[in-house]
Structure 1
Amino acid sequence: MTNVSGNNFTMNSSSLSAYQSLEEFRYYTVGVILTPISIFGILGNILSIFVLSCPEMKSNFNQLLICLASFDLVYLQLSFAIFAMPTLSVWYTETLFPYIMPIGVTIERFVAIAYPMRKTNLKNSLIMASVFGSIVYNLPRFFELEMVQVDVLDPETKANVTVNRIAPTELRFNKLYVQIYVVWMKFFLVELLPYVIICVLNFVMIVKIREAMKLQKEMTISRQPSLESQKKEFNMALVLVCIVFMFIACQSIKIIPDVYEAMVCDYSKTDTSCESTTTIERIVSISYVLLALNSASNFVIYMLRGNKFRRVLSRKLCQFFGYKPSSQFDSPRIGNSDSQSHHTRHNVIALTTTATTEMGHTPVQPHRSLIKFHSTRHESPIQMV
């Protein structure tokens, strides 16, 4: 009997070749493929936290993204360490926070899109609720495993040696605990409920975005500041939609082994184990890779959708390595610099009082004022975002 990683059931190998084929599949999925994904995700989430923490990126939405990146970073570090050290049990690969934080980010964006006139600051409450809920729900996990000493045969000396192993406790084999907490609570609270909340709220946001974009075409130029503010909110909602799409795509496959365990395994019997299949085992291995991919993908989304995110990241990296930031990441040129860079000229520009921009989107423009200044060089001292 071969223990199934991450689930409370065992598998009968029909033949040695089938078992070896499964082990080879695990090696390439949770070893070769997962390792570079985890490393990339760790670096990407560190950079995301660094950029989103900058003063010019400060906003409620970005603060929630910092928390999401922090939890993804913790999961990727644990996932990488666990799969890199085969003596540790892969039951530790259960993720802690990424289930709840996407819900918090979705609620914050839902309020901003569906109720734009309500100045409700949900950042602190959403973060605290996510952290507290995750800790409370996962407390029993710390009592499922224990360190035990077992005697194994040393292949070199042909003698028995005592080694430390991580093994499940009696709590993990308790029929009532497995039925209620491991199977059904996990299925409803961790898998089903987050999907329903995220899908419903994002559907409402998409409908609101389509209605607002249609209304935007009918608005006059006098309402331009309000339209620009709404456009910024909608662009952030599109970033969230990308995050949610990756969340659903990567997290869905892991439901299959849980549903299989809930439907097939009979925990009313004394023997709390049940038989798995090679297909289920392969799905479990693939789910580990997809969970790591989900935690590593947000950095790519920020780079693709966030103009200001790319600009701030490029400027910070240039400063870190001692290079002067390019003008396109710092102060863009005004006018034809090739023909006017060595001549004194008078420039009259509209200096716009802007609100803090988020993720590189169009700033809010509440009023304008005209300012004259003398320019003797081709680079403007004013930041034009």
Structure 2
Amino acid sequence: MKETNRSIELWCTEPDEQQLMQYKLFEWFVEGVLFLVIGIFGIVGNLLSIMILSAPQLRRFTFNRLLVALSVFDVAFLVSTVPVHTFQVFQVHTQIHALLFSRFLYPMSSISLSASIFMTVSLSVERYRAVCQPSTYRSACISESQCKRVLKYLIPVIILSCLLNLPKFLETSVEYDAEKEQIQYNVTELRKNPTYVWYTTVLYSVHPLVTTELGPIVMLIFLNIFIFSTIRSSKLRFTGVPRRSGGGHGELNLASVIFSIVVIFVICHLPRMVLAVLAVVNVNTAVECIQAFNKYHPPLIFMYAESVSQFLLVLNSSVNFLIYCVVATRFRVFMRRIVMCESTEVTSNPPFGVVRLAEAPLALTQPALQIPDQLNLITSVRSRLNSMVENGDDIGPTYTEEVLHQEETKL
């Protein structure tokens, strides 16, 4: 009983004025200054990523189009989340913000976050199919249009993200006082209902805990383990085969890009997952606070953790551009050419970096230069690969590259 009373006192009692002032200062710096700086950088970086990945030589590849979709969702998350936090912290009061808050910004923040998470998983699934199931992937590339392949990932992501976050449209309301030029943020009566609070908090064990945290993290880890294992076994298989310098660079480069995205994702989402677990564990205490006092206050340490968690989500949506710049070789080439206007030589051959592994088997059917030697090379490679597919053999990207090298030496 004493432990229960202590827990209720901890959750139901407002922090004292000094503690609250310290937290407000922390909130001003994290959810105000850092949100604004990182958010602006993230929006600019994602827009640059969209522009570069939409270049004619890059947008031919399904993987790059999925990266564009990820950048779009990240931009939507930053555009909706940064005003939700920074406007309150900096006490920006406008009628437009009041109109947009409860019907667009607040729900869109959750919808776009879910979409970004699901798209990250979709990217790993696409890479897993290309590396670990090359025959099936190659057949799909030949039989399906690129738009169809992209929509098979994109449509479920959008629908699921919207359905999971429909309650967000009902949780808040905003009033604008024209005389005082101030905004009053209110929690709807539904959100104060103890039964609603109990059910929605318990459902945290499903969403977001399983749907957008634990489930995606586990899937990303295992998918990338399989991807790296397949690449490693393929390299060992052809250790003794002569090859040109730089062979296999594309596979390792793309694997490094995916690995970097996954590592940043896991680090930035772990605090949110822990907070979701704690919310479910303490649901009864929160309900008792609402029943007794018509409100509840989480412990101050949770408020600090929530601010840090939100900042890490903003950071996660802002750093992919840096990952591409540091890790992805081909992305840097196109960035110098498009953004910095450098006259770097860029061919139409199957690209390295973020796209080298994307559709390597299919790329062989699209010769860039109409010259006899290259046409003979493509014909020879296609003949060998097709015969292997008919025999039921798996043709990974590494093996495709080795066949290409062997046929080149014959010409």
Shorter-normalised TM range: 0.7 to 0.9
The answer on whether the counterparts of 1:143 and 1:169 sit within 8 Å (CA) in structure 2 is: yes
Match of 2:129 in 1: 111
Partner of 2:354: 359
Alignment of 1:184 with 2:184, yes or no, is no
Q: Is residue 2:78 matched to residue 1:60?
A: no
1:125 lines up with 2:152 in the alignment: yes
How far did residue 180 of structure 1 move?
Answer: 3.9
**Deviation (angstroms), 1:70:** 0.4
Q: 1:365 to 1:63 in 2, by over 3 A?
A: closer
Give the match's secondary structure for 2:350.
Answer: coil
Q: What is the CA deviation profile of residues 21-62 of structure 1, one whole-angstrom value per residue up to 9, with x for unaligned ones? A: 111111111112221111110000000000001111121111
Distance change in 2, residues 1:132/1:78 (3 Å): same
Secondary structure (helix, strand or coil) at the match of 2:262 reads helix
The percent of aligned pairs where both chains have the same amino acid is: 23
Partner of 1:264: 282
Q: Which residue does 2:408 correspond to in 1?
A: none
Instruction: Summarize the Cα distance change of 1:48–1:10 in structure 2 as closer, same or farther, 3 Å threshold.
Output: farther
- Counterpart contact for 2:81–2:106, Cα < 8 Å: no
- What is aligned with 1:5? none
Shift of 1:303: 0.4
Task: Give the 3 Å change call, closer, same or farther, for CA 310–173 of structure 1 in structure 2.
Answer: same
Q: 1:256 to 1:273 in 2, by over 3 A?
A: farther
Q: Does 1:146 align with 2:173?
A: yes
Tell me, yes or no, if structure 1 residue 330 matches structure 2 residue 325: no
Find the structure with the greater CA-based Rg. Answer: 1
Shift of 1:166: 3.0
2:188 counterpart of 1:173: no
State the partner residue of 2:334: 312
Whether the aligned pair in 2 keeps the contact of 1:34 and 1:292 (CA below 8 Å) is: yes
Work out the number of aligned pairs and report it: 324
Shift of 1:245: 0.8
What's the CA shift for 1:279?
Answer: 1.4
Asked if structure 2 preserves the Cα contact closer than 8 Å seen for 1:75 and 1:96, the reply is: no
CA offsets 1:237-276 (integer angstroms, 9 cap, x no match): 3211111111111111112322222112316643575442
RMSD: 3.3
Unmatched segments (≥5 aa) in structure 2: 1-9, 92-100, 142-148, 375-411
Letter in 2 for 1:165: Q
Aligned counterparts of 2:114 and 2:223: Cα–Cα separation in 1? 23
1:106/1:240 contact within 8 Å kept: yes
Name 1:70's counterpart in structure 2: 72
Higher RCO, 1 or 2 (CA under 8 Å, sep at least 6)?
A: 2
Match of 1:251 in 2: 269
* TM-score, normalised by the number of residues in structure 2: 0.69
> More displaced, 39-48 or 12-21?
12-21
Comparing 114-123 with 171-180, greater Cα deviation is found at 171-180
Given that 1:57 and 1:357 are in contact with CA atoms closer than 8 Å, whether structure 2 keeps it comes out as no
Contact 2:331 2:354 in 1 (8 A): yes
Partner amino acid for 1:25?
Answer: F
CA distance in 1, matches of 2:106, 2:21: 22
* Cα distance, 1:268–1:110 mapped onto 2, change above 3 Å: same
* AA partner of residue 52 (structure 1): L
Contact 1:45 / 1:73 at 8 angstroms: preserved in 2? yes
Q: Counterpart amino acid of 2:185?
A: I
Once the two structures are TM-superposed, the CA of residue 10 in structure 1 deviates from its matched residue by 6.0
Query: Could you tell me which residue of structure 2 aligns to residue 50 of structure 1?
Result: 51
The aligned counterpart of 2:31 is 30
| Aligned match of 2:233 | 211
- 3-state secondary structure, aligned to 1:166: strand
1:149 to 1:46, Cα distance in 2 relative to 1, 3 A: closer
Instruction: After TM superposition, give the deviation of residue 205 of structure 1 in Å.
Output: 1.4
SS at match of 1:195: helix
CA offsets per residue over residues 191-225 of structure 1, 9 Å max, x none? 2211121122112112222222222313355xx79
- Measure the CA separation in 2 of the matches of 1:205 and 1:110: 6
- What amino acid sits opposite 1:166 in the alignment? Y
Q: Which has the higher mean CA deviation after the structures are superposed, 108-117 or 14-23?
A: 14-23
Check conservation: 1:112, 1:233, Cα contact below 8 A: no
TM-score (norm 1): 0.74
- Cα–Cα, structure 1 residues 175 and 192, in superposed 2: closer, same or farther, change >3 Å? farther
Match of 1:238 in 2: 256
Pick which of 78-87 and 267-276 moved more: 267-276
One of 107, 110, 120 as aligned partner of 1:102: 120
